[in-house]
Amino acid sequence: MLAAMTRHHPCLALFVSLYMTAAIIGPASGQEAPGSVLIEIDQEFTYREPSRIEFNVMEGVELPVLEYIEDMLFAAEIEPFYPGDEGAEAVIHVTLRGRASGGTYMEPTKAYLYTGADLSGEIMIEGQHGEFAAGDFASTIQRPFQITINHGFDDPRNAPFLVAFEQPGGFIEALCYAVAQAWGVEVLLPWVYEHEIPLRYSVVTALGHIGDPVAVPDLIEALYDSHERVRWEAAWSLGRIADPVAIPELIEALNDDSQDVRWFSSWSLRNITGETMGPDYDLWSEWWENREPEAQG
């Protein structure tokens, strides 16, 4: 529980509150992945004016839901289909709702500064072979109010929707759980190497929650990712799965430049081995070298 709470590190400059529920937390055994998937997306964004009860619908706001799903499907060698296309073997339907939150009222201009954003929605997957998965997600972010940097936030379309969308624990992670439930964990593994950083750290986190050892080799590769968050999420996930094959790589990760990577690597080593040597690389290396050869695999 402590590790799950501390993964979303408090050093972020933004105050972030995240809540996500998914249809799967545990090893997944889905059907075989389809060759093609129809993508259906509904997005709606609203805001409220000062002294008004009703919410207004915003035009011209759209988050990259389609782009993320396309990239994920292409990486898994699944062809994306679009509304109007026929013959898809499965359907992914996403409903996303966004709301600009105005935390500060400016009396001279009689306007809100829309420095926050709330997102929520549902994901549903249906296939021709009876596979079905569903999950929901929500994320909330509120930027600290500093009038010197909030130029433009009087327009609700400039609320930080994209930041909320790409936050850990939100839409991308929920999509990982739904896909794993429908078609198996193996479909997620190519996503570890995708270009988008939020996609990489979200799938690495999801693999730890799912807990299937098939992901261990790819999580070990993620320990060497160029982005710090991907690396420490990989370290945490390896500790969740607790496969001893990751021990030597986690020991090496104790030399990482990132304090978070070192901390989560030491937590995972303790969780796997029961030993309590903290993030001391020399102590762990000596302990590992003194193990029986068969214990080292």
In whole angstroms, give the CA distance from residue 161 to residue 173.
Answer: 16
Among candidate residues 283, 287, 218, 230, the one with its CA nearest the CA of residue 256:
230
pLDDT tens, position by position, 70-84: 999 999 999 999 999
On the question of pLDDT at 109 being above 70, the answer is no
Record the tokens describing residue 198, joined without a space: 């939020």
On the question of pLDDT at 87 being above 90, the answer is yes
Least confident of 12-26, 83-97, 253-267: 12-26
Per-residue pLDDT, 145: 61
Record the tokens describing residue 231, joined without a space: 């690396």
pTM of the model: 0.85
Per-residue pLDDT, 128: 83
Per-residue pLDDT, 150: 57
pLDDT tens, position by position, 167-193: 989 999 999 999 999 999 999 999 999
In whole angstroms, give the CA distance from residue 87 to residue 271.
Answer: 47
Mean of the pLDDT values across residues 107-136? Answer: 86
Query: Residue 134 carries which side chain, given as an amino acid letter?
Result: A
Domain ranges within the chain, ordered by starting residue: 26-184, 185-296
> Which DSSP category does 144 fall into?
P
- Its CATH architecture, for the domain 185-296, is Alpha Horseshoe (1.25)
Task: Tell me the average pLDDT of the chain.
Answer: 86
In whole angstroms, give the CA distance from residue 244 to residue 206.
Answer: 20
Q: What's the Cα-to-Cα distance from 135 to each of 3, 82, 180, 182, rounded to whole Å?
A: 23, 21, 11, 11
pLDDT tens, position by position, 284-297: 999 999 985 655 55
How long a stretch of residues is the chain?
Answer: 297
On the question of pLDDT at 21 being above 50, the answer is no
Residue 251: its H or E element: helix 247-253
Whether 185-296 and 26-184 are alike in CATH topology: the answer is: no
Convert 47-57 to b/e letters by CB count within 10 Å (16 or more is b): bbeeeeeeeee
Which range has highest mean pLDDT (2-6, 104-108, 165-169)? 165-169
Contact 128, 111 (CB under 8 A): no
In whole angstroms, give the CA distance from residue 150 to residue 116.
Answer: 11
User: Could you tell me which residues are beta bridge partners of residue 132?
Assistant: 126
In whole angstroms, give the CA distance from residue 122 to residue 102.
Answer: 24
On the question of pLDDT at 247 being above 90, the answer is yes
Count Cβ atoms below 10 Å from residue 77 Cβ, excluding itself: 10
Mean of the pLDDT values across residues 27-46? Answer: 86
On the question of pLDDT at 8 being above 50, the answer is no
Contact 253, 225 (CB under 8 A): no
Mean of the pLDDT values across residues 136-141? Answer: 95
Antiparallel, parallel or unpaired: β 132-142 and 116-127: antiparallel
Per-residue pLDDT, 27: 46
Contact 7, 233 (CB under 8 A): yes
pLDDT tens, position by position, 193-230: 999 999 999 999 999 999 999 999 999 999 999 999 99
In whole angstroms, give the CA distance from residue 196 to residue 71.
Answer: 9
In whole angstroms, give the CA distance from residue 70 to residue 81.
Answer: 9
Q: How confident is the model at residue 151 (pLDDT cuts 50, 70, 90)?
A: low
On the question of pLDDT at 147 being above 60, the answer is no
Q: What's the Cα-to-Cα distance from 106 to each of 161, 189, 233, rounded to whole Å?
A: 21, 48, 40
Contact 28, 186 (CB under 8 A): no
Per-residue pLDDT, 293: 62
In whole angstroms, give the CA distance from residue 60 to residue 81.
Answer: 24
For the chain, state the CA radius of gyration: 21
User: Is the CATH number 3.30.160 carried by domain 26-184?
Assistant: yes
Mean of the pLDDT values across residues 108-116? Answer: 74
Per-residue pLDDT, 148: 46
Contact 71, 78 (CB under 8 A): no
Higher pLDDT, 22 or 83: 83
Per-residue pLDDT, 194: 95
